[in-house]
A and B are shown apart, each in its own frame.
Chain A
Amino acid sequence: MSDILDRPAEAAVPDLLPLLRRVAGRVAPLWPLQDFVAVNPFFGLAEQPFGAALARLSAIGGVETLPPRAIIAEALAEGRVTQADLAAAAAETGATETPEALAARARSPLPPRAPALAARSVADVLDATQGGRWRALAIEEIAKWCAAWCDEGQAAWPMPWRGEALYGAWRAAMRHDRTPEAMGVRGFRATIAALPQAPAPAIAACLARIGLAPARAEEYLHRCLLDLAGWAGFLRQRGWKGELAGEANDLPLELLAIRCAWDVALLAAHGETPGFRAAWAERLAAAPLAAAPEADELALQAALEKGFQRTLARRFAAAAPAAEAAPAVQAAFCIDVRSELYRRALEGVSPRVATLGFAGFFGFALEYVRLGDARGAEQCPVLLRPGLTICEALPGRDEAAIAERRGLARRVADLWASFRASAVSSFAYVETAGFLAAGGLLKGLLRRKGRDADGLDPALLDALAPSLEPRPWHGRPNGFAPAQRLEAAEAVLRAMSLTHGFAPLVLLCGHGSSTVNNPHAAGLDCGACGGHTGESNARVAAMVLNDPEVRAGLAARGIVIPEATRFVAGLHDTTTDEVTLFDAPENHPGLAELRGWLAAASARTRAMRAPRLGLAAAADPAPDIRRRSADWSEVRPEWALANNAAFIVAPRARTQGLDLEGRAFLHSYVWQEDKGFGVLELIMTAPMVVANWINLQYYGSVVDNAAMGSGNKTLHNVVGRLGVLEGQGGDLRPGLPMQSLHDGRRWMHEPLRLHVLIEAPEAAMEAILARHAPVRNLVENGWLHLFQIAEQGRVLRRYQGPGRWEALETAD
């Protein structure tokens, strides 16, 4: 062993950086709670085929990547999956077992996973030979310092080395930290102090110290990063803007260096313990990882999907063509699966409403700055960067004075907050203001929901509105220039396939949720608006489209909007299913009627949702649903996007009248109007990818909630104002909590891959796949299923590779 320990850190390290960056690219980014958006946990593995990537991730991380078999067993028992599905799935995945054997397989639980030898760390091998908890200790201690470095305002006394890069800051702290030594890692501080000062050389030195050749270290490094996948993902997110601009993002490497350093310290302290030496030698001699796709397991997954596809194809084939009539209202909703229910309800209320689906930011990628704020929130999908800054205004009031007063009120609130949180004053705070908490407890008990005016007169809250005109804002540019408005308006109307036949009222309806005391509240809001509500985007869109100059410009470009047509912004509260209108033209003749239809549709939608919420069908679900949105102890306010399974890109006529059970993202698209297929390209590269991220977020959180989900909501502990821990410490938790996936009796999400159904010529879709490697990877590597809607929906044809589109069977 001493030869391993004493081996010098080689001065001439082969350039490790490409390998390290490849490993860093394997972890999925994780957004902070304020802008919590869905992320594909397999992001970074998409260039590998689905089955192979899952097998590899399982082997490296020791995590589960395939659905609980009970889900498939249940589908088999209920007849949703047939023996024929199993046979077809087996043929597709190359499974060797017979359908009967596969069915039997589904009835027993999955065996536990263990990491492959070729990926194991020193901590893993120590745990195995000593029965200790070294890996857990390393994770705990590293996570503690990640939290201190990343903290966004929880600790009153921030980490003194926050200004330095993470690895350097950690090294500085480790000159003083005695905890590892107190826990039995002898010489920890000295070992760390002897390591190089920069992360990449440190990793190289660590690999040399543990005796692992860089060429064979990829699995090891990947596993090290997966040990702290949450913090690694958060660090990746911090560098995300740079990645969008094409820069390398080396923040996760800082963390990787820390994790490797821990392995070296463990080796230095315990390398000579009996049993370890031989075990580590065996580990170093392990054959390279060759994780073959688990064909039999994959067949079960594929069979589950085949069952869904058959039902879907049958529904499409049986659809009756909708009657075409000039609508009184066109209502555009977000593609979100929750809109599917509401749209169906609204159309059911009145045949004079036509609905559309489009990404909930309505094409306006903006940074929205609240009154008096120095920074705005990004209201657009995280794959985009906001193109404009819109400030909030108070039309007709002394805005500057009100904003200044808000700043002062906030300053007082800050001082009061520091009186509460400071060391000495916290005692006096408790003895005086502590009694005020009795009121807070009563409010919670009675579910009174406060509205935080944040230093503003509460009466003004409803008067706040986005301003297209620039406002004075720290001398920085903002507002929407007239020329830009026209460009944006044209782009969004064409992208919605809404260029003629305008109704007198066009509702642009964003969405948001309303919950209290919920760390993951933003996760229920609009992902297309960066984890915020879609209110400001919808209002800006409506303002632009109502602008007479914009209308004139549009007419010159061939989009004639009748003068009587008004665009109205709305917000669909997905928790209560109420719709609120903004800046509504009160004198418009159709408005009262629209309000009535919306109210009726809200009631219908709640009734449709009631069974999944466990509410009796007979009773009015509204009181319970309202309670959920105001109850501080509610852990299941709504099911959000659970059970999502399809993304349908077609005119609404194709899906109108179909009960898609709130499982489908619906994007309006008329390919005949899309010259050059620019709109299709946009749909397949942006909303389709976002839907895939959401779909795989749910998939990952179901298949291994401990690794890709955030665990039990009742244990959540907000850390650094940015994320959650489960319990007192450990890694930052990504993904969804169990309570968002399971009702205590059964899974509320069926882990199917996304079924993308597009009505467009095959050649157009293939051309887009050919041009965009990331999208092609998703399709051809099986991260989603692509179908063409043919013959007005009577036939669904599955993409099997360039030029190969295979019609789905609709018969049994």
Chain B
Amino acid sequence: MLPWLLALAPLALLSFAAAPDGCANRHARLMRSGALAAAGLALVVAVLGAGHLALAGGHSGFWIRYDAVSAVMLLLIGFIGVVVTTYSRRYLDGDAGQGRFARWLALTLGAVTTLVLAGNLPLFALAWIGTSLALDRLLLFYAERPGAQLAWRKKFVATRAADAALVLALALLAWQFGSLEIGAILAGAKAMAAEGAAPASVHLAAFALALAAVLKSAQFPVHGWLPEVMETPTPVSALLHAGIINAGGFLLVRMAEVVALSAATLDALVVVGAFTAVFGAAVMLTQTSVKVSLAWSTVAQMGFMVLQCGLGAFSAALLHIVAHGLYKAHAFLTSGGAAQGRRHETDAPLTLPALLAALAAGLGLTALVALAFDMPVWTHPGVAVLGAALMLGLAPMLASALLAPGAGRFVALRVSAIALAVCVAYFGLQAGAQALLAPVLPAQEPARGPFALLLSALTVAAFAALLVLNLLRRAPDPHPAIRALYVHLHNGLYVNALANRAFLRFWPLPATK
């Protein structure tokens, strides 16, 4: 019963493949209502499925694997899908391609829904590739725009490389475990973890999985297309940043039992994720348009999520996917109001003593709340790194509120309350996610060598460097090197410019008027 119910969601959405583009455009109103109905059905299925999972358990079969991970992802995609299809009804009203838009929106949602429910490797691979091909039709909705073409080409190359890595990984897994069924493979990997040794082919498979995820989730240096896909209507950006970009992260979480078998793979994920997070966040600071700024924020957040996976904190990564998806969908869909309302004064000067005091306060707060949630940092290195990021993040706000001149008790109390609430929410959500996902994910902290500890320390240092940068740039007369760094960051360290030039040379755009 449950698998049939679940299959309704992708099947309803994928049925839109039957309407060719031209026909879809002629019946735009029908198409957009139909897409909304299918997306609504998918959300209903997601809710009913989650209810079933809570009361009567999930399902693990050849076609469909439905566990807490699938349930969370299906709920997220179902909700975002309904929001985005509803939004597109009015937003694209009158556009000659509205029917086509509705069609590919449904197909993209159908493919990604299939991905999160897939129970076997070939279906997983098909859905993975199909998601990106369907999304391409949305990214090229205004195919005559050179910017859209250029960004798509970069994405196309990265994504096809990701496909190849995925197919390699899945083939290795099928060969190693002698099954195409994801459930069997995960069980096999779990057994392997208990034995404490994995053969080279599993390491290779884990590495290929990680590579596919990195290529798919816009990690440095293949992030370039993501900030450039603003050449398509806003709801596509919302869907991409809230739903599709998570495919890489979902792959890591889905295959966590396998990925966790390879410490070297996890180390690689830490390095790539941490660098992308710090790089993306720093570039984001300098961007002047709301959508591009949001896109760089996605680059950073995806880096953070990959970092979490690298640290073995897979439940935290899934939590991040959901929180970021909701946040980013909302941010894109409301970006039209970016110029309205009062301008926030976010650049209050900071002094080093104030910051140090706030750091101490932040450290104390974070450690205490972590303890209260039974997540002492010293036994959870992953939590320690992420907690340190939280603490470093709270520090400037606390410093400005508690110590900057002119702030009254009102501000100090409010901001302290906010900081406390953030800490409680942070650890509360982490603990909740761990409890929810414990049965389907590897033990929270896989055994790691000293190298991993070094990497963790370096990661914390990188976040601290961001904080120092924040301090230095706010100085009344910033050092020339900081000014130069501003220019380099504003340009995303030129990775994209070089990529654009190469692409224009080897895959030139058609001549424009």
Q: Are A131 and B511 interface neighbours, CB within 8 A?
A: yes
**Set B91, B151, B343, B488: member contacting A635, Cβ < 8 A:** B91
Q: Is the CB of B396 within 8 A of A414?
A: no
A424 near B397 with CB under 8 A, answer no
* Bound: A685/B504 CA distance, A: 53
B341 lies within 8 A of A408 (CB): no
Excluding A176-B487, A422-B346, 5 further A-B contacts by CB distance (< 8 Å) are A176-B483, A413-B344, A427-B304, A428-B389, A433-B425
Which residues in chain B, 10-43, are within 8 Å of chain A measured between CB atoms?
none
Q: Which of B341-371 contact A (CB under 8 A)?
A: 341-348
Please tell me which one of the listed residues A32, A154, A437, A521 contacts residue B288 in the complex, with CB atoms under 8 A apart: A154
Is the beta-carbon distance between A156 and B285 smaller than 8 angstroms? yes
B422 to chain A, nearest CB (A): 5
A412 near B90 (CB under 8 angstroms)?
Answer: no
Contact with A along B391-421 (1 / 0, CB 8 A): 0111011001100000110110011001001
Determine whether the beta carbon of B293 is less than 8 Å from that of A154: yes
A177 to B490, CA, bound (A): 9
Which residue of chain B lies nearest to A455 when distances are taken between CB atoms in the complex?
A: B342
Q: List 29 A-B residue pairs with CB atoms under 8 Å apart, sorted by A's residue number.
A: A32-B339, A33-B339, A133-B509, A144-B288, A148-B490, A153-B344, A154-B287, A155-B288, A156-B346, A414-B344, A417-B344, A418-B348, A419-B396, A419-B397, A427-B304, A427-B389, A430-B324, A432-B429, A435-B323, A441-B330, A517-B337, A519-B339, A521-B340, A633-B90, A635-B90, A714-B233, A718-B335, A721-B343, A729-B289
Flag the segment in A659-667, A690-698, A737-745 that touches B: A737-745
Q: Measured between alpha carbons, how far is A152 from B297 in the docked complex, in Å?
A: 19
* Cβ contact within 8 Å between B394 and A179: no
B255 within 8 A of A: no
User: Is B507 on the interface with A (CB-CB < 8 A)?
Assistant: no
Q: Are A425 and B285 in contact (CB under 8 A)?
A: no
Contact of B336 among A421, A437, A518 (CB under 8 A): A518
Other-chain residue from A415, A422, A636, A717 in contact with B289 (beta carbon distance below 8 A): A717
Whether A720 and B288, one on each chain, are in contact in the complex, defined by CB atoms closer than 8 angstroms, is: yes
Q: Determine if A80 is an interface residue (Cβ-Cβ < 8 Å).
A: no
Q: Provided the pairs A418-B396, A423-B284 are in contact, do residues A742 and B498 lie with their beta carbons within 8 angstroms?
A: no
Q: Measured between alpha carbons, how far is A176 from B83 in the docked complex, in Å?
A: 43
Residues of A within 8 A of B145 (CB): 727
* Shortest beta-carbon distance from B355 to chain A in Å: 12
Q: Are A422 and B287 in touch, CB under 8 angstroms?
A: no
Q: Which of B94, B466, B497 contacts A423 (CB 8 A)?
A: B466
Complex interface: chain A residues within 8 A of B122 (CB)? none
Any B CB within 8 A of the CB of A112: yes
Q: Which A residues are CB-close (under 8 A) to B473?
A: 157, 160
Q: Across the interface, do A717 and B290 meet the contact criterion of CB distance under 8 Å?
A: yes
**Chain B interfacial residues counted at CB < 8 A:** 121
For the complex, would chain B's binding face be called helix, strand, loop or mixed by DSSP majority?
helix
Evaluate whether A434 and B323 lie within 8 angstroms (CB atoms) in the complex, with A155-B288, A414-B345, A517-B336 already known: yes
Within 8 A of B (CB), among A403-461: 405, 408-419, 421-435, 437-438, 440-441, 444-445, 452, 454
- Asked whether B161 is an interface residue with its Cβ less than 8 Å from the other chain, the reply is no
Separation in Å of the B173 CB from the closest CB of chain A?
Answer: 31
Contact assessment for B142 and A715 in the assembled complex, using a CB-CB cutoff below 8 Å: yes
Chain B residue contacts of A631, Cβ below 8 A: 90
**CB of B103 within 8 A of chain A?**
no
List of B residues within 8 angstroms of A161 by Cβ: 483
Q: Which of A178, A437, A722 has the most CB of B within 10 A?
A: A437
- B230 adjacent to chain A (CB < 8 Å): yes
Contact between chains at A408 and B408 (CB < 8 Å): yes
* Pair A410/B342 contact, Cβ less than 8 Å: yes
The 9 closest A-B pairs by CB, nearest first: A744-B94, A425-B393, A434-B323, A418-B346, A434-B327, A714-B233, A437-B330, A728-B230, A182-B497
Q: How many Cβ-Cβ contacts under 8 Å join chain A to chain B? A: 326
Considering only CB atoms, which chain A residue lies closest to B430 in the complex?
A431
In the complex, what residues of A have CB within 8 A of residue B500's CB?
183
- On whether the beta carbons of A718 and B490 are closer than 8 Å, the reply is no
* Bound complex: CA A743 to CA B98 (Å): 13
* Given A161-B483, A178-B491, A410-B342; A437-B393 close (CB under 8 Å): no
Report if B176 contacts A (CB, 8 A).
Answer: no
Report which residue of A144, A418, A419, A441 has the largest number of chain B beta carbons within 10 angstroms of its beta carbon.
Answer: A441
- Is B146 engaged at the interface, CB distance under 8 Å to the other chain? yes
B334 CB within 8 Å of chain A: yes
Contact of A176 among B147, B341, B484, B512 (CB under 8 A): B484
Residues on A lying within 8 angstroms of B by beta carbon are 32-34, 112, 131, 133, 136, 144, 147-148, 151-161, 172-173, 175-179, 182-184, 405, 408-419, 421-435, 437-438, 440-441, 444-445, 452, 454, 516-519, 521, 631-636, 712, 714-723, 725, 727-729, 739, 742-745
Q: Are B396 and A428 in contact (CB under 8 A)?
A: no
* Residues of A contacting B411 in the complex (Cβ-Cβ under 8 angstroms): 408, 411-412, 415
Decide: A424 and B512 in contact? CB cutoff 8 A: no
Q: How far is the CA of A454 from the CA of B486 in the complex (A)?
A: 32
Point out the residues of chain B lying under 8 angstroms from A427, CB to CB: 277, 281, 300-301, 304, 389-390, 393
Which A residues lie within 8 Å of B348 (CB)? 414-415, 418
Residue in B228, B229, B397, B490 whose beta carbon sits within 8 Å of that of A418 in the complex: B397
**Are B400 and A415 in contact (CB-based, < 8 A)?**
yes
Query: Which of A154, A416, A445, A725 interacts with B86 by CB under 8 Å?
Result: A445
CA distance A188 to B277 in the complex (A): 31
Does B373 belong to the interface (CB within 8 Å)? no
Given A176-B488, A419-B397, A452 and B341 contact (CB-CB distance below 8 Å): yes
Supposing A154-B290, A633-B90 touch, asked if A444 and B281 sit within 8 A by C-beta, the answer is: no
B87 in the interface (beta carbon within 8 A): yes
Which one of B148, B227, B422 contacts A428 once the chains associate, using CB atoms below 8 Å?
Answer: B422
Name the residue on B nearest A152 (C-beta): B343
For residue B505, which residue of chain A has the nearest CB? Answer: A184
Collect the chain B residues with CB atoms within 8 Å of residue A444's CB.
83, 87, 330, 333-334
Pairwise interchain contact B285-A438, C-beta atoms closer than 8 A: no
Question: CB-nearest residue of chain B relative to A173?
Answer: B487
Partner of B96, one of A415, A421, A744: A744
Is the beta-carbon distance between A182 and B494 smaller than 8 angstroms?
yes
Query: Quick check: B339 and A424 within 8 Å, CB to CB?
Result: no
Q: Which residue of A lies closest to B473 (CB)?
A: A157
CB distance from A141 to the nearest CB of B (A): 10
Verify B286–A633 contact, CB threshold 8 A. Answer: no
Residue of B nearest to A429 (CB): B393
CB-CB under 8 A from B466, the residues of chain A are: 423-424
- Whether A633 contacts B342 in the complex (CB less than 8 A), given A441-B326, A517-B334, A742-B94, comes out as no
* B281 & A424 in contact (Cβ 8 Å cutoff): yes
Q: Contact: B393 with A424, CB < 8 Å?
A: yes
Assess whether B444 is interfacial by the CB under 8 Å rule: no
Per the bound structure, the CA–CA distance linking A91 and B376 in Å amounts to 90
Given A426-B284, A728-B292, decide whether A179 and B90 contact each other with a Cβ distance below 8 A: no
Q: Is B89 an interface residue (CB 8 A)?
A: yes
Specify which chain A residues have a CB less than 8 angstroms from the CB of B393 in the assembled complex. 419, 422, 424-429
A434 touches B326 (CB 8 A): yes
A440 CA to B79 CA, complexed, in Å: 13
Give the residue name and chain of the B residue nearest to A411 (CB).
B411
Q: Which of A161, A412, A427 has the most CB of B within 10 A?
A: A427
Q: Which residues of B contact A714 (CB under 8 A)?
A: 91-92, 95, 233-234
* Closest beta carbon of chain B to A235's beta carbon, Å: 15
Our pick among B338, B389, B488 for the contact of A718 (Cβ within 8 Å) is B338
**Cα(A742)–Cα(B333), bound, Å:** 23
Whether B346 lies near A424 (C-beta < 8 A) is no
Would B422 and A156 count as touching, CB distance under 8 A?
Answer: no
Which residues of A sit under 8 angstroms from B330, Cβ to Cβ?
A: 437, 440-441, 444
Q: Tell me if B88 is interfacial: C-beta within 8 Å of chain A.
A: yes
B471-490 residues with Cβ-Cβ distance < 8 A to A are 473, 478, 482-484, 486-490
The interface centre, meaning the residue of B324, B415, B487 with most chain A CB atoms within 10 A of its CB, is B487
Q: A160-B482, A415-B397, A636-B93 are in contact. Are A715 and B232 (CB under 8 A)?
A: yes
**Distance, CA A739 to CA B234, complexed state (A):** 15
Complex Cα distance A434/B228, Å?
24
